Structure 1
Amino acid sequence: MIIKKIDDNAVALIPEESDDLFTLRRIISKGDRVTGDTSRAVKQEKDFSRPDKGERVRIRIALDVEKISIDEVVDRLRVQGTIEESDNPSVSKGSHHSLTLKIGDAVTLVKKSWSDIEQKLIFGKKDTSTFLLAAIDTTDCGLGRLSGTHLKLLPNMYSGASGKRYKSKFNIQDFFKDVQSAISTLLRDGDSIVIFGPGETKKRLANFLSEVPSIKVHKIQVVDGIDSSGEDGIYTFIKSEIMKQTLDTSKIAKVSAILDETMARANKKSNKFTMGFEETAKANEIGAVESLVFSDKIFEKQDEDKIIEFLNHVESKGVEVYAVDSTTDAGLRVSSLGGVISLLRFAPQS
């Protein structure tokens, strides 16, 4: 999340991944003021205009929050409230409206006061490492940007090397130029590039990219042990032990380690883990939770406000809390286990 503090009460925010939207859901409360861009039907007093319909225009409003919820559409928050300010004179103050917040939307949040947990969630030190993943072979290349636990994939790129027209004319350098162009659209400051796939093509691509001025400033790492390319190669890497070794300090590696340890403890019939909301909530009441992972599935089975209160209570105790979504195998696994899992410091007494 891109964050800029304006004053003691106001902060400008741009969510960059699903985890950031979960964070906003946990800190925006009734009575806060949220300023952002939206669209609204505004009736125009013009000749020949239809009196029963308005023109939908883009406006910027300041909303006094009455309710916030996770939208049924993934990666969206819905903020409902009363308009207190608007840059369009046709939009009356005091009317009700809702803002839909998505990844990449810039908003300003003003709170009368910030609780300790809210300050920790926004201003606390977080893992901001992001990775550009490339799974390449001579025939195709898959690209994905891994930010936290959120994976954004580009459509597979194909070299055409196996086509008849390229039997004598195919030049791998031309394919690398296409891949380089696509990588440039995904890269952001601070990103690391991780390249893998079968054969030696990955090393040749790394050497090619290391000669590109705008790309060679990024860390470029070649990884062995992934024998598939394209989209399949990206997913294979995300689920592999190699990923955890390569990206050992990343959020996705930590989440995967917690998942693996949870399953290991389950196989050993240990009681030092939980699955599902009720079991995890009971463990939290006695201070047993050490680390916790939740997915958006948890909000489908429980009252949303109850879940937010629970998550904030857990984190206020110093517990490591991670959010995941369905773009990765880790998110799908957590969703299948009730939407929330945790590792415990000690086993609750029966």
Structure 2
Amino acid sequence: MKKLASDLKHGIMKLRPENADDLWCLSQVIEPGDRVSGVTYRKVKIGDEQSSKSVKKRFFLTIRTEGLSLDGSLRVSGTNELELDDIPKGSHHTISVEAGDAVTIQKEAWPRYQLERVSDSCKETGVVLVCVFDREEAIFALLNKRGHKSLSRISGEVAKKGVDVKARGFYKEIVNALEEYDKRYSPVFIVIASPAFWKEYLRAEIRDEGLKRKLVDATCSSVSEGAISEVLKRPELKKALADQRSAFEARLLDEVLAAISNDMAAYGLEEVRSAVDAGAVSKLVVADRLITGLRAEGRFRELEGVMKRAENRHAEVHIIASDEPVRSLMSLGGVAALLRYRLG
């Protein structure tokens, strides 16, 4: 994300999303009632009644947001705020925002947690490639600011004991996949994780020195989707993954679960609301899936009020989006709070 201009005194920020993650970020901060300005195209008729034809015309619109959807592009719908030729004020229109498009957002006030989310998206952080494997199977995933995305899974045919020619052939397949993903995504580093000592055999098959310099070794107990989340928590990766949002969110959920076991957490909207109103919350953690669901049901204002009151009482507010932490948090009601003190 690129921040092109900012005037927070008047609630204005101009941004340019650069990829799908940035579009997702915008979908989380744009809300009903916000004024959104951007370019759109509409078909208009030109000429007289007898020789008229439709042409696509470019317009710069400012709309009062009523709804939005994200499906490849971010579609913000609402009512036109300006009187324009061919587009009357108050008419309903949609601005479609794609990667590379500039968009201006104006709010009554920007909550701190939304400013932090935009700031995170504007940071220059790269992606991380992860490969969890043994001598029979390998899973590849990409870590980014949004979380992790599975890329592929490959299998080999090897003997149950020993490292034979077939095993070496499978390691070469893994290396080929790593080289291909390295070219495609240019990760800042590559995590290779395996049970036991299989990663040593994989390293022996890598000839590319540039690829070797990106490698970070890790250990996992199995080769599965869950192993990706396991790898994120390994101590040897804490420094390497310090800037990765997914690792941060995994640790945040660990804090929540530890606090629950010590009666120092509240979870579920009712419990969390009471804790916030009591001024007992130090950190508020919300699943993006809960926000999306409540928005679709027209009930987000209730949760938003809790988040704003928590912020006003100097609590940290975090919205998490990584798959595994979100699943864990959704099982607790989608929202949890770390407490400053136990509630009676």
Return the TM-score normalized by structure 2.
0.71
Check the 8 A contact 2:15/2:104 in 1, yes or no. Answer: yes
- Structure 1: tracts of 5 or more residues without a match: none
Q: Which residue of 1 aligns with 2:325?
A: 330
- The answer to whether the aligner puts 1:35 opposite 2:38 as a matched pair is yes
- What's 2:302 paired with? 306
Encode CA deviations 1:94-129: one digit per residue, 9 max, x unaligned. Answer: 442224557x57442243776473545434797957
Name the structure 1 match of 2:218. Answer: 223
Do 1:33 and 1:65's aligned partners in 2 also have CA atoms closer than 8 Å? yes
2: CA distance, partners of 1:343 / 1:7: 32
Give the direction of change, closer, same or farther, for the CA distance of 1:70–1:320 in structure 2 (3 Å limit).
Answer: farther
| Distance in 2 (alpha carbons) for counterparts of 1:222 and 1:66 | 50
CA separation of 1:211 and 1:159: change in aligned 2, threshold 3 A: same
Q: 1:167/1:143 Cα in 2 relative to 1: closer, same or farther (>3 Å)?
A: closer
Query: Is contact 1:127-1:251 (8 Å) kept?
Result: no
Contact 1:296 1:335 in 2 (8 A): no
Q: Which has the higher helix share?
A: 2
Match of 1:243 in 2: 234
Assess if the C-alpha contact under 8 Å between 1:238 and 1:328 holds in 2: no
Corresponding position of 1:211: 208
Select which of 288, 298, 320 maps to 1:296.
288
Of 150, 154, 164, the residue aligned with 1:153 is 150
Distance 1:178 1:192, change over 3 A: closer
Residue number in structure 2 paired with 1:67: 65
- The structural deviation recorded for 1:260 is 3.3
The whole-number CA distance in structure 2 between the counterparts of 1:266 and 1:31 is 36
Quote the offset at 1:152 in angstroms. Answer: 1.0
> What count of residue pairs does the alignment treat as equivalent?
320
Aligned equivalents of 1:28, 1:168: Cα separation in 2: 53
For the residues of structure 2 that align with 1:212 and 1:14, how far apart are their CA atoms?
A: 34
Return the match for 1:14 from 13, 17, 41: 17
Contact 1:25–1:70 at 8 Å: present in 2 too? no
Q: Structure 1's 63 and 122: CA in aligned 2 closer, same or farther, altered over 3 A?
A: same
Residue 190 (structure 2) pairs with residue 193 (structure 1): yes
Q: CA deviation at 1:208?
A: 5.6
Distance (Å, rounded) in 2 between the aligned partners of 1:265 and 1:254? 17
Are 2:253 and 1:259 aligned?
yes
Shift of 1:185: 1.8
Query: What is the alpha-carbon distance in structure 1 between the residues aligned to residue 115 and residue 137 of structure 2?
Result: 45
Rounded to whole Å, the distance in 2 between the matches of 1:236 and 1:105 is 35
Name the SS of the counterpart of 2:195 in structure 1: coil
Rounded to whole Å, the distance in 1 between the matches of 2:125 and 2:320 is 15
Q: For the aligned residues, what is the CA RMSD?
A: 4.3
